Amino acid sequence: MVIIQPTPFCNINCSYCYLPDRSNKHVISQSTVTKLFTELFASGWNNPDLTVLWHAGEPLAVPIAFYREAFAMIERLRPKDGPWPVRVKHSFQTNGMLIDEAWCDFFKEWNVGVGVSIDGPRELHDAHRKTRSGAGTFDKTITGVRRLRDTGYPFHILSVLGRASLEMPEEMLAFYVSEGIDHVCFNVEESEGDYVSDLFQGAELRQRYETFLRTFWHLARADGRVKFVREIDHALPRVFRPEGVRARNIQVEPLGMINVDSHGNVSSFSPELLGYKNADYGDFLLGNINRQSLAEIYRASVDSAFLRDIKKGVEACRAHCEYFSVCGGGAPVNKFFENGRFDSTTTSFCTLTQMVPTDLILEALDKFEQSLPDDSLATIAQPAASSAQPPRMP
């Protein structure tokens, strides 16, 4: 996966935003994008299906003309035949406020994946997602959502769950259904960078989130109009996978993720580390694509102190966490911001994103098995997690 910050600028000022430089209007140059993809495609390291996520800031603050030129250049460079042909899928994560007919036409032209950040009904959304003058942004965001919906263009919604919305699974589902939203993703408000969430100060968060997700998932499946819940649907193939196939975690692999800021600076591992500095690890950067080759950047990632400590954290998870077969070692950025160390194990983030969905899936499987005649149980595939001890919270 390649994550590109076309600009650090964002046109709104969410209360829980962790980005340190969101007033900066610098835009990545076309020459930087060209150098990045020239290096990447020449390396032969990319998968046959390459996802390019344009994620800022607000990526739609950069004009359509920029993306049309960049996408056309990437298409010219893309290997189309030979031993390593590559298919490229571009995606945007946007606050939706700038979506108009021209953006919808562009999305269609390039078959762009679109995710819109909206936190639910007006009172939940406007509590945190505000303009720089402090006004709510719901009206403009829902207008963008409705434009996508009315043109029939597929999209998903990303909602940040806070203290209030965790108590409102029924209301959240009713909102999505009323707006014709059928693909939903959740992020629980978390501590990253300079933002510290008060959600993580209470020991009851796991139970509250588990109750929310169980209720939402079961109601959504019964209703049938929300067809995809990321937290469950992405976990299913990780829990139920072929024997001997490990769960891949690209956040702990050198250049499993290539994260590039608007100046061409490159990081790997968790993209949220891009732009931060630390006394032990410096600026978390591995080089600059305008000055170093991708091979040099890879060597820097392999030799980095933070990879050394990330590996220690992965091995600690392998040794002590019974969910390791599902998650593969956790998210380094959350270990760092929650625990203060990469070489640590359990975080609230992994509890919510890995353990809770796994528990709910296995709970549902157990109920399903109990509903079947005894002679039917032998035909049911066992989850990959069953090769370890039954999941529990370490």
Convert the pLDDT of each residue in 209-241 to its tens digit.
999 999 999 999 999 999 999 999 999 999 998
Q: What is the mean pLDDT of residues 290-297?
A: 96
Q: Whole-number mean pLDDT of the chain?
A: 89
pLDDT of residue 377: 47
Better-scored residue on pLDDT, 24 or 31: 31
Q: What is the mean pLDDT of residues 255-269?
A: 94
174: left (phi over 0), alpha (psi -120 to 50) or beta: alpha
Residue with tokens 């049309």: 68
pLDDT of residue 197: 54
151: amino acid identity, one letter: T
pLDDT of residue 45: 84
Q: Which of 97, 156, 164, 92 is nearest to 128 (CA)?
A: 164
Better-scored residue on pLDDT, 14 or 213: 213
Are 266 and 285 contacting, i.e. CB atoms less than 8 angstroms apart? yes
pLDDT of residue 46: 80
Extract the tokens encoding 96. Answer: 């939706």
**What is the Cα–Cα distance from 292 to 274, expressed in whole angstroms?**
17
Q: How confident is the model at residue 16 (pLDDT cuts 50, 70, 90)?
A: confident
Q: What is the mean pLDDT of residues 196-208?
A: 69
318: amino acid identity, one letter: R
Q: Which residues have C-beta within 8 Å of that of residue 376, sequence separation ≥ 6?
A: none
pLDDT of residue 256: 92
Residue 293 CA: distances (Å) to CA of 28, 287, 288, 296: 18, 9, 8, 5
Q: Which domains does the chain have, with CATH numbers?
A: 2-239 (3.20.20.70)
> Which residue(s) pair with 89 in the sheet?
51
Kindly report each contact of residues 73-79 with a partner whose C-beta sits within 8 Å and lies 24 or more positions away, as own/partner: 73/30, 73/33, 73/34, 73/37, 74/33, 74/37, 77/34, 77/37, 77/38, 77/41, 78/37, 78/41, 79/41
Asked whether residue 297 carries a pLDDT value surpassing 90, the answer given is yes
pLDDT of residue 393: 28
Asked whether residue 20 carries a pLDDT value surpassing 80, the answer given is no
Q: What is the mean pLDDT of residues 132-158?
A: 96
pLDDT of residue 141: 98
* Least confident among 77-86, 134-143, 191-200: 191-200
Q: Which residues have C-beta within 8 Å of that of residue 278, sequence separation ≥ 6?
A: 284
Better-scored residue on pLDDT, 377 or 31: 31
267: left (phi over 0), alpha (psi -120 to 50) or beta: beta
Q: How confident is the model at residue 182 (pLDDT cuts 50, 70, 90)?
A: very high
Strand pairing report for 265-267 and 287-288: antiparallel
Are 239 and 362 contacting, i.e. CB atoms less than 8 angstroms apart? yes
Asked whether residue 392 carries a pLDDT value surpassing 50, the answer given is no
Q: Which of 280, 329, 330 is nearest to 306 (CA)?
A: 280
* Least confident among 154-158, 315-319, 336-340: 336-340
Q: What is the mean pLDDT of residues 277-292?
A: 91
What pLDDT, in 10s, does the model give residues 340-364? 999 999 998 899 999 999 999 999 9
- DSSP 8-state code for residue 117: E
**What is the Cα–Cα distance from 323 to 313, expressed in whole angstroms?**
14
Q: What is the mean pLDDT of residues 194-199?
A: 54
Asked whether residue 36 carries a pLDDT value surpassing 90, the answer given is yes
